[in-house]
Amino acid sequence: MVERIPSPGLSAPLPARPVAPTERTGDPRLEAFQRTLATMLGSQVQAAVLARLGDGSFMVRVADMPVRMMLPPGIQPGAQLTMTVLAASPQPTFGLGDAALHGTLLPLSANAASLAASVAAASSRLLQAGGQGQSAELSPAARLLGQVLKSAAGAPPLASLNPSTPLLPQGAPDPAQLAGQLQQAVAKSGLFYESHLAQWAEGKRPLAELMAEPQARQAPGTLPTDPSASQLINQQLATHESGQLVWQGQFGPGQPMRWEITRNGDDGEDAAQARGGKDDGAGWHSGLRLRFALLGEVEASVSLRGARLHIELVAESGSASLLRAEAPRLQEALAAAGNELAALRVNDREGA
C-alpha cells in the first residue's frame, strides 16, 4: 500500500560548514599543514579557488596545499580570495567576511592518507633503528602514487562524471531510452575500467564497450601522473572507499541534473527481522535532483533492497499535490516492471 506522510520540510544549510570528517590523526600532510598555519594565526593568506566538486564544496589552494571547503554563495572557480587564518587545529579554519570556513585536505582519500601515515611511520622507525641515522627510500610504486595524488590536486572534475552534453534532446523522454542513457553514463565513466577489462578477457564484455571508456581513449604513452589520468585514479580510489558515485550533468538542454548512487551493505539480522524475517541482502540508495518547467525542482530519494522500493519526493507545494494525485500510476508502472513499491512519501518543500 502506498504510504504518504506529511513532512515538516527541509532545513536550510548554513553558509559554511565542514563537508568531511577531520583527517585521521597521524596524517603527515595534515601535521605539516597545521605547523605552517600555526605560524600564521591571525594573518591573512591568499587562496585560489581551483574547482567546484561534485558535493557542492570547492577545491581551494591555501599555502600551497589543496583544501576542500564550503564557500559562501556566489563564489566561482578561478576566484582569488583573501582569508584570515583562525585556527590550525583540531581542524584548519579560515575567516572570510563573517563566515568561518573549515578545511579538509585534498586529494588524499582516507585510504591514501592512512598509507601515507604508515609510510612516514615506517621511515621514522628506520631512521631511529639502533640509535643511528639510516637512509630510508620509498619504493618506485610509492613514489609514483605520491606523484599521481599530487597531480590530481590541480586537475579539473572528471568529464565523464561532469559531462556538458545533455543526456536527451528536447521533448518528453522515453523511459527505456533514459534508463539506457543513465546506465551508459555510469558504465562508461571509467571508474570500473579494470573490472570491465577482466570481463572482456573472460569473453563477457565486447571490446567495443571497453574502447568507449576514458582509459581506452587516452593517447598512447599517457602517464599516470597526467592530470586527467591522475584525477581518474584518485576518483576510483575515493569511489571504492566511500561506495558512492556522484554524476552531474544535463538531463536535457539547460536542465541540470545531479545523481548520487550509494551501495548499502547488509544491515544485519535485526533489520531482517524488522522486515518480517526476510533478508534481501545489500541494497542501493539513489538520490536525484531535477528541475522541470512545470513542476519546478524535484528531489527524489530511492532505496532498493531486493525488489522492494522506498521512494521519497520533495517538491514545491503545488507540484507535490500533483505528484500525490499521480502516485497510483507510478505504483502500477513499477508493479508492471516487477518492482514492489513498499512506500512512497511526497513532501512539501519548506517555504514553497
Residue 247 or residue 4, greater confidence: 247
- The amino acid sitting at 241 is E
In angstroms, rounded to a whole number, what is the distance separating the alpha carbons of residues 68 and 49?
Answer: 10
pLDDT on residue 54: 66
| 3-class secondary structure, 138 | coil
What does the DSSP 8-state code read for residue 290? E
Per residue in 235-288, pLDDT tens?
888 888 778 888 888 888 888 888 889 887 644 433 444 444 454 556 889 998
Average pLDDT value for the chain:
75
pLDDT on residue 137: 67
CA distances from 249 to 44, 161, 259 (A): 36, 7, 9
Residue 180, phi then psi, degrees to nearest 5: -65, -40
DSSP for 77-141 reads: TT-EEEEEEEE-SSS-EEEETTEEEE-EE-S--HHHHHHHHHHHHHHHHHHHGGGS-------HH
Q: Can you give the pTM of this predicted structure?
A: 0.54
- What residues does each domain of the chain span? 28-105
Per residue in 51-64, pLDDT tens?
777 677 888 888 87
- Which residues on adjacent β-strands are paired with residue 255? 252
